[in-house]
Each structure stands twice: as structure tokens, then as C-alpha cells.
Chains A and B, each alone.
Chain A
């Protein structure tokens, strides 16, 4: 029996490695093989959670994904509760079912606290912060972000700490900006930048800085960060946000030609929206916009 369990565990680890390498389809097949070798309910449950997690990553549903809520409620082990709840948080956040996502986020956090696992707590708190941000509950997002930062500062492994710290601090700074706490938010994002290496996250941080400095009417700084964001931006959302903010900066600087250029670029994303440019020239939408969405 134990030989079967070992083989199941071997396959499970192999599948996890495949997921990390982005080979999710291969991973799903390996998980199926692992399930065949699983000799007890606990192992079967863990493989089911891992497989569901991989399926969610490629936006697929199936019996394993459907089994996750039952696994959370069954509470076979705190680890399983955490992993299943965390997978559901991700699923519902992607589906913009924010209330359900927050529910499972709280369950994930609760199991992390019961198990006294710092890394689990950080994961759950970061997810909850993102959910609350997306739901315009900025004060709750800030509270979660601050708790996550406090825990990250205690991580002993420097490489791991720096990576987690940079992203969590950037997110917290962005939540502060969305809550109109511009000075504090900007200071946090600037402190986070040396810890961020990915161009995608750097683009995000630059967009946030542009937004923040624009909020303080510091137009030169806003333009500098907006242009840096545009150079780094790879996602369509980031490009649109950067053009929008740069258009606003140019407008406030009374550089109408440049404002027109950026608003035109934004309007290219909405070819059927005839009045977009004139609308952007007439009203400032910043107070309605959450650039993280």
C-alpha cells in the first residue's frame, strides 16, 4: 500500500512541476495517473485539490473543481482546507464573484491562523487585499495589506522576502492611492520599486505613480512615470491606463496637442465610441476609475 502512496506522491510532485513550467495539460494527465495510485482518502483529496487548482488556472471546470467547497467544509486537515479555499478564492476572483472570493479568502486566512503558518497567512491576506480593492473596499484592503507586510518583514529567507515584499508593498501603496491617501501611497510604491524586477509589475507601479502624482498635481513627475509605464506596458489594460493618464497629465499641463494624441490612442481601443475623445476632454473620470481592474 505504501508503495502506491509513494508513487502517487511522486506523480503529484511531477505534476506540480509541470504546472510551474506552464505545461498544465500535461500536468492534468499526470494528476489523473496519480489519482489511480492514491491509496487513501487524504492523498486522493490532496491530488484532487492540486488538479482543481491547475484546472482553474486554465479556466476549466470539472468534478475536481466542483469538489473544492466540500473539501473546505469537510476539514480533513488545515492544509487541505487552506489549499482548497485558496484555489476557490482565485477561481471566484477571476470570475469577479467577489463576495464568494472574500468568503473563501476569510476561510483560507482562518485555517492559516489555526495552523499558525506565516506564508499561508501572507497568501490569504494578499488575496483578500486584492478582492477588497476590486470591490472598492479600500480600507479593508489596506488593513489586509498592512498585516501581510508585517508578516513578510519577518521572513528570514531574503530572496523570498524581497520578492513578496515588493509586490505586497506596491499593492498596499495602490490601495492607499485609491483611498485618496496620495502621499503615503506614493511613498510606499517608491519604496517597493527596488524590489520589483518583472517588467509587468514595474509597468503597474509606474502607472500607479503617475496616477498618484497626478492626484497631487505634480505633473512633471506624473508625466515621467506615465511615460515609463507606457514603455514597459505589455497588457492592453496597462496601455489603455497609461494613455488615459498621460492624456490627463497633458490636459492639465495645457498641452492640448499631446492630450489629443494620448486620447486618440485610447480611442483606438473603442472604435465604435464616437464621442470618446470629446468626453475625455470634458470630464475627468479618475475619481470613478480603479486602475487595477
Chain B
């Protein structure tokens, strides 16, 4: 029954939503009554606000939870599903993730090689 709680995740999401709404930091900070520099630190996960201020920020965007934490929910849901598997199956998934990572790294390296070749 864990919920995503990362300071940076929330901060990043606030920045993303603010930009989507085409609000500057100054405009959003003015609306909720904090300093622009504090909002900036908050978006970087370096500044904690009062509960009231945080709820006012979230209210400003007036989004459903699905919209707000789409990314966090998706990651959480993968974790939740993983936890329901047997230890052996979990190991298998882990190996598969390692395989995909290695494949992607390999792809990246070969892309680099190709471009180097083209340059030559």
C-alpha cells in the first residue's frame, strides 16, 4: 500500500504542469503567494512548503489524479504487478530487464559507431 512520495517526482511534475499551462514561475508563485525563487527550489525538490500552499498549487492545476501522476502511477503499477509474482518469476523478469538494458546499450554503441563511420 505504498504511494509514490518522492520530493523530486512531485517537483518535476509541478514544473511540467506549469509549463503545459504556459505559466511562468513568477505567475504561479504570485497566484499561490510564495516567492518565485522558492517555487524554483520546490520544482527542483529542494524546498518544502506548508500543506496549505502545496494543496493550493495542486488545486491550481485542477487535474484528476490520473492526469497528475500518470508517470508515477505507471511505475507503481509495474512494481505492484511484479510483487504478485513468485520469486522465480521475479528473477526471470529481472533477467529480462537486464537483457533489454544490455540490448539498448548495445544499440546505442552501434549507432555511435555508424555515425562515426559516416563522418569518416
Q: A287-B6, A288-B10, A289-B54 are in contact. Are A273 and B49 (CB under 8 A)?
A: no
Once bound together, how far apart are the Cα atoms of A124 and B5, in whole Å? 35
Instruction: Kindly count the residue-residue contacts between A and B in the assembled complex, taking CB atoms under 8 Å apart.
Output: 94
Q: Are A283 and B48 in contact (CB under 8 A)?
A: no
Which of B5, B42, B59 is close to A272, meaning CB atoms less than 8 Å apart?
B59
Interface residues of A in 250-293 (CB under 8 A from B): 251-252, 254, 269-270, 272-276, 278-279, 281-293
- Chain B residues touching A, range: 20 to 34
Q: Are B51 and A241 in contact (CB under 8 A)?
A: yes
State whether the Cβ of B73 lies closer than 8 Å to any Cβ in chain A.
Answer: yes
Residues on B with C-beta less than 8 A from A293 are 48-50, 52-53
Given A275-B65, A283-B68, A287-B6: 8 more A-B contacts, CB < 8 Å: A96-B35, A136-B41, A273-B58, A273-B59, A279-B68, A281-B3, A286-B5, A288-B11
- Tell me how far the C-beta of B78 lies from the nearest C-beta in chain A, rounded to whole angstroms: 16
- Tell me how far the C-beta of B69 lies from the nearest C-beta in chain A, rounded to whole angstroms: 6
Once bound together, how far apart are the Cα atoms of A287 and B10, in whole Å? 9
B37 nearest CB neighbor, chain A only: A99
Q: Are A291 and B50 in contact (CB under 8 A)?
A: yes
State whether the Cβ of A240 lies closer than 8 Å to any Cβ in chain B.
Answer: yes
Residues on B with C-beta less than 8 A from A252 are 1
State whether the Cβ of B86 lies closer than 8 Å to any Cβ in chain A.
Answer: no
Which of A96, A178, A284 is close to B48, meaning CB atoms less than 8 Å apart?
A178
Residues on B with C-beta less than 8 A from A279 are 58, 65, 68
Once bound together, how far apart are the Cα atoms of A291 and B52, in whole Å? 9
Q: A96-B34, A270-B55 are in contact. Are A288 and B49 (CB under 8 A)?
A: yes
- Tell me how far the C-beta of B114 lies from the nearest C-beta in chain A, rounded to whole angstroms: 43
17 sample A-B contacts, Cβ–Cβ < 8 Å, listed by A number? A178-B48, A240-B51, A241-B51, A251-B3, A270-B59, A273-B59, A275-B63, A275-B68, A281-B3, A281-B65, A282-B68, A284-B3, A287-B5, A287-B7, A288-B49, A289-B49, A289-B54
State whether the Cβ of A86 lies closer than 8 Å to any Cβ in chain B.
Answer: no
Residues on B with C-beta less than 8 A from A269 are 52
Q: Are A251 and B1 in contact (CB under 8 A)?
A: yes
Residues on B with C-beta less than 8 A from A284 are 2-5
Residues on A with C-beta less than 8 A from B35 are 96
Interface residues of B in 13-54 (CB under 8 A from A): 34-35, 38, 41-42, 46-54
Once bound together, how far apart are the Cα atoms of A281 and B73, in whole Å? 12
Q: Which 10 A-B pairs have the closest CB atoms?
A: A293-B50, A284-B5, A290-B48, A284-B3, A273-B59, A282-B65, A287-B7, A136-B47, A278-B65, A287-B5
